[in-house]
Structure 1
Amino acid sequence: MEELLQLKQFLQQGKIDEALVIVDELEEMSLGDKVNKIDSYGVILLIHLIKQNAENRSTRSWQLSIENAVREINKINKRRKASGYYISKAELLDILEDGYEIAIKKAASEAFEGRYEAEELATMVDKEGILSQAIELIEQG
């Protein structure tokens, strides 16, 4: 809120360069918020894809979580007024890769009733295949 008041003040004073700096900061904060939300939903997506891959099965609950995560990622990433997306496919893949380690740890506590440690579960699944499947689901979403 403080940034908006300062922005208004700069515009009223005709300090365009200072106002543009604040606009850049606001854009960066907004994008950072979108990245954080996409990361959270991406981890949820990966957890369920990992469990599906490891256990070679699915449940309605897992499928609903996958569908919801994909829907939320696309909703957050879609530019409403301008066409296109905030975050590119390559950036999405980077976000998913960053979240993969926490996803494997969380999936290990759930898959096979928590019998395997994250490192063991990681050897049972195809990381690249799961990341590719996640991107594909997001693109189709």
Structure 2
Amino acid sequence: MEELFQLKEFLLNGNIHEALLLVEEMTEMSKDDKLNKIFSFAKILLLHLIKQKAENRTTRSWNLSIKNAIKEIQRTNQRRKAQGYYCQPSELRETLEDAYGIALDAAAKEAFEGKYESENLGTMVDRKAIIDQAMGLILDNTQEG
């Protein structure tokens, strides 16, 4: 909120250059917030995809978590008024890549009743295939990959 008051002051004083710099900073802050939300849902999505692949099964609960995570990622990434997306596919993939390790650690605690360490569980699944699957699910009906 402080930034809006500062922006107003810059505009009232005719300091357009400083106002534009502040708008750019605020835009980056907004995008960072969107990326953080997408990252949180990406961890949930990847966690359940890893468990599905490792255990070669699924549950209704996992399917629901996957569906909800996909929907939240798509919803968060959608620019409602300006149309388009906050993150392009390359940025989404980078976010999934970043979230994978955390999701693998969480999956190790849950899959097979927690009997494998994340390193062991990681050898049971194909990291790239899971990230590709997640990308496909996220991009389905939203944007071209």
TM tier relative to shorter chain: over 0.9
1:50-89 to 2 correspondences below 5 Å: 50-89=50-89
* Paired residues, number: 141
Can you list the C-alpha shifts for 1:43-98, whole angstroms capped at 9, x where unaligned?
10000000000000000110000000000000000111122111011110010001
Which ranges of structure 2 fall in alignment gaps of 5 or more residues? none
Q: After TM superposition, where is structure 1 displaced by more than 2 Å over at least 4 residues in a row?
A: none
1:112 is matched with 112
Aligned residue type for 1:54: A
Q: Select between 109-118 and 80-89 the one with higher mean Cα deviation.
A: 80-89
- In the alignment, the residues of structure 1 paired with residue 135 and residue 29 of structure 2 have an alpha-carbon distance, to the nearest angstrom, of 25
1:25 partner letter = E
Shift of 1:140: 1.3
**1:1-141 equivalences in 2 (<5 Å):** 1-140=1-140
- The CA deviation at 1:2 is 1.0
* CA distance in 2: counterparts of 1:83 and 1:19, whole angstroms: 24
Tell me the SS of whatever aligns to 1:122. Answer: helix
CA distance in 2 between counterparts of 1:102 and 1:6 reads 38
For 1:3 and 1:83, locate their aligned partners in 2 and report how far apart those are by CA, in whole Å: 25
2:19 maps to amino acid: A
Distance 2:126 2:53 in 1: 8
CA RMSD of aligned residues (A): 0.7
Deviation at 1:125, TM superposition (A): 0.4
Q: Which amino acid aligns with 2:47?
A: I
Tell me the TM-score normalised to structure 2 length: 0.95
Consecutive unaligned residues in structure 1, runs of 5 or more = none
Q: What is the rounded CA distance, in whole Å, between the counterparts of 2:127 and 2:6 in structure 1?
A: 46
Q: How far 1:131 moved relative to its partner?
A: 0.3
CA distance in 2, matches of 1:30, 1:7: 15
